[in-house]
Structure formats: C-alpha cells, structure tokens
Structure 1
C-alpha cells in the first residue's frame, strides 16, 4: 500500500516560523513534524510514500532525501502553482494504482491506520475519512454519519449556530484511485469543498471512520505549543530522542544529568535540553 503526504501548504498562520521554512519542517521537540508522519506510516508497514510539494519544497527534499534513513522510499511530485489538497493528489495520479492513504505533513497523530483500512475494505468504500471528536469544531469540517458510517452531512468551518456535530475531518483519508477520475488535472481542487459534495450527491461511497488515538492539526501557535506539551506528557504515542529525567523535563543524548544537582555537560557538541514551555 502507498501513502501520499501533503506537504505543499504555506502555513501562513504559523508565521514567522514559516516565512523561510515549509510548515512540514517546523520542529516538534527537535524533529520536523513531517518526520512523525513518516514514522507512523513505517510503523504500519507503509514504506512507499509520495510527497506533494510546492512552497519551499526543496528544503523538504534536502532534509528527507530518498527516505532510506527512515527505512522508507520517498518520491516527490512538485506543483508549479498551488493545486489544493485534492488537486495535489490528482497531480500524482500516475503513481497511484491501488487504494492509498493520504496524510498531512503538518499534523501530529498516532491513529491506527490499519483499523481504518479494515473499515474501508469492509464497507467497500471509495473514500474513507478519518474522523475525531473535538471540543471546538469551528476550525474544521464537521461530519454526521448514519449507523453504517456513511457520511450524510458535511459542513466546512461552521459558525456556532451551524454546528450539528463535534466530529471533524482530520485530513487523513483512504482513497480508491477511481475517485481521482472525478477531478481535472492541473487545476486547484479541494477534497472537502469540492470532492466530498460530489461523492455525496452521487451516492458514491463516502464513509467516515471514527479513529481512536491522538490527533492535532499544527495550524496555529497555540496548537503548535500544545502539541509539544502533549508529547512531553505522553498523550501521543511517538518516538522521542530525549530521555525523561523528571516530569515534563527531558534531556538529550549528549547531556549528562546528575541527580540532586544541576546539569553537567557531557559533551560540548549537540547539547539538547527539552522542557515544556521552552
């Protein structure tokens, strides 16, 4: 099975971090946020990964290369101009000949992707949306499904008086490649605003899978900060390079901690100290 990582967005809400750095490279506890997506895919046995690029894409290529450092095979598809979430996947159509996973390069999650795939296959779905219940759905697309998981209603970024659900679209999908035939190539196209309505109108098997686990869109300074608190508090199951020596206090591999006293440097190179709130 293949995966597509969407890594072309400008991340304007994270300025000034993203003025000279693409959002997928913004660090969460000393690792680019996209690195966690790659590790999640590898954990689930998905090693053939296509990355869609546009804004400052060369930086992403320079950092991740062919993916061999992470035990995966990365290939890149570059957009000359922004094509939107769905348009960027359409742009990689020639590389997609079987159901594939779409995941964001700028969100943090530990969802069980195989559970979603099983749901997708059991329901003979053409397009499955990973869903998550949140406290404030105003920033996302809200979803209502029937008892089988088929999506009946969807509304992008609702006003308070429009909210009919707190279950939202996480931007993680399992997609049958036949869906790509519904879109034109080389034009901007959005999954939620354009493709979802078309699938629902034609009763074409748009399903929602209520995923278990952690998910956070790193779209604002507040969410960016909170995600790192959550990582330090082990609310999300990800691989961290540092060692936890005290609650919410982690130390890098080149730093020696002497209990009962202050930190003592073991090496002058690559010293790392990670603490919530830094």
Structure 2
C-alpha cells in the first residue's frame, strides 16, 4: 500500500502566519502538523509516500526531505492550482500505479489509529464483497461545512455530497481515505463541481453508482482540521496531554517544573514556574516567568518576566514584560514586549489578516 499526502493548500484561514509558512508546517506541540501524518503512515507500515505540493512546495520539500528521517521514501507531485482532492488523485496516477493507497489531508490531526484503519480495509478486501474504498466518518454540529455521508438502516454508505446547504446527515468525512485502483476510473469520469474543483465526494459517489462497495467506520476519538487558530490551539492541547515528562534542559534551584513537561536539550529555566502540560524547545530561555498549561514554546524562544498560557510560540520569538498572554499563536522571529518609552502608548506593526485583542 502507498500513501498520498495532500500538502498543497494555501492556508488562508491562518494568515498572517501562512504568508511566510506552509500551513502544514505550523507546529503543534513543537512539531510540524504534517510530521504527525507522515509518522502515522510509517507506523502503519506504509513507506512509499507521495506528497502533493503547491505554492509552498520549497518549504514542504525542505521540511520533509527525501523521507529518510521518517523511515520513508517521499515522491513530490506538484499541483499548479488547487483544483480539488480528486484532482490530486488524478495527477498522482503515475506514482500510485495499481496499488491500494491511503489519502491523507496534511493539515488534519486525528486520534484514530491509522494502522487499525488500514488493517480493517485489508481484511475487508479478502471478503466476498470487497470494498473499493473506505471512509472515516465523524458526527459534527455544522455538517454544511463538510463532505457528508448518508447511511442506510444497515450502516452502509448510500450517498455522499460536498458541503450541502441542507445536510442529509451529520456524518462528516474525516480527512483520511482508503482506495483501490478503481478510484482512478472514478476521478477520470467525474466533472468539476460548481466550485470548479474535482470533488472526492463525487468520485466516491461514482463508485457507489457503479455498484461498488464503500466501507465506512465511525470515528470515536477526536479529529481536528488545524486550519484556524482555535482548532490549532485545541490540537496543541490534545497532543501535549499525551506527552511523557522529559527534562533534558537545565532547571535552576529557584524554578519549579510541575506535571507533564518536556524541556528539550539546551533549554534553560531560570527563576520560573513551568506547569504542564508544556513543551519547551531546544535553546529556549524562560526567565522570571510563568509558563502555564497547554503552551508550546519553540526552539530558541525567550520568555522573560511574563506569563504565558494556552499558547503556541513559534521558533525564535520572544515575549518580554507581558503580564498575561493566553490563547495566542506567535509567529517565528516575532517580538511581543512592553515598552518603557514615553509617552505611553500601544505601538503596533501588524500585517494583513492579524487579530489583536487589547486588554
């Protein structure tokens, strides 16, 4: 089995962070989102991985390399324009060949054990009526925002529709799919939707219309599309809660480190309190400060005389003399500090699409 990972989106909902960074490489618990998906593929025994790349291809390729750091072999497949998930399958035809494959959205995180999901599909393929596709579904409160599946009384998939104005169910398609080579016939047969895209829901519906079986599983755990600030911080919280305590950096005698905390090698905690779950990256310095639960402090960051909680600080950023910072995402090389200049004033240099909440 092969994997097709989609990493070509522009990330408009996470601007201005994604003006300078691929959305799939924004860190969660100090690790790029995309890395979690790649690692789950390898853990499931899938090492031949195709990655769809777009305008941010140089950064994605620099981050993933040839895949050897993950124990995988990565092939990059350029997509010149975002023409839909089914279009990704279409342009990956040569790489995929006739193999079964898992398709994974690179900005999604899910609790589901991918290895078990793959094993269930492989077991079903040996049955009398083998499926040509397998989808993962999750009940959602706002189904009009997703591809939606309708099941019959026996739990079989009978219909799929993309972002319906009047949803027929509340079962959304999670960003992971399994396909046989039959899907190539489907993506070649469908037409672009009203959005101008080749929809993967239309391709799967084509399989159903041809009498093919589409297997489904209901996701019991969490699933997060990290494309906006609030879900990204929620994903950071969930990942941090799963970490094991590890202290590789230095903590002085005047400091307190409580709970599930990871302090990377080279990081320094000086006269500060760190209360987990928290991840602190290599080379970071926390001085005369409090870092509270669900915070991820990136490599070489500086936090001085400040309080930070439920926030993500990306590499090389600094927070100085800030009484309280929470629910925040701070980009790389950014500086947040209280100035002593007179007259006292709020002085900002803010890029497009920023949001500033003033106390």
Range class of TM-score, shorter chain: 0.7 to 0.9
Q: Is the 8 A contact 1:143 1:153 kept in 2?
A: yes
CA RMSD of aligned residues (A): 2.9
- Relative to the length of structure 2, the TM-score reads 0.66
Unaligned 5+ runs, structure 1: none
Aligned to 2:186: 182
**Aligned CA distance change for structure 1 residues 146 and 243 (closer, same or farther; 3 Å):** farther
Q: Within 5 A, what are the aligned runs for 1:109-128?
A: 109-121=110-122, 122=124, 124-128=130-134
Q: Using the TM superposition, give the Cα deviation of residue 249 of structure 1 relative to its aligned residue in structure 2, in angstroms.
A: 5.1
Aligned to 1:251: 263
| Structure showing greater relative contact order (alpha-carbon pairs closer than 8 Å, 6 or more residues apart) | 1
- Relative to the length of structure 1, the TM-score reads 0.83
* CA shift digits 1:117-167 (9 cap, x unpaired): 3433415111111112234434222222235543123333344xx344332
- In structure 2, C-alpha distance between the alignment counterparts of 1:63 and 1:241, rounded to whole Å: 26
Aligned to 1:106: 107
Q: Using the TM superposition, give the Cα deviation of residue 35 of structure 1 relative to its aligned residue in structure 2, in angstroms.
A: 0.4
Aligned to 1:277: 311
- In structure 1, C-alpha distance between the alignment counterparts of 2:118 and 2:42, rounded to whole Å: 15
Flag the structure with higher helix content.
Answer: 1
- In structure 1, C-alpha distance between the alignment counterparts of 2:182 and 2:208, rounded to whole Å: 15
Match for 1:191 among 171, 189, 200? Answer: 200
**Aligned CA distance change for structure 1 residues 184 and 202 (closer, same or farther; 3 Å):** closer
Name the count of aligned residue pairs: 265
Q: Using the TM superposition, give the Cα deviation of residue 212 of structure 1 relative to its aligned residue in structure 2, in angstroms.
A: 3.9
Aligned to 2:137: 131
Unaligned 5+ runs, structure 2: 249-256, 275-280, 287-295, 297-308, 313-359
* CA shift digits 1:90-119 (9 cap, x unpaired): 111112221110111111123222332343
**Aligned CA distance change for structure 1 residues 57 and 148 (closer, same or farther; 3 Å):** farther
Aligned to 2:218: 210
Aligned to 1:73: 73
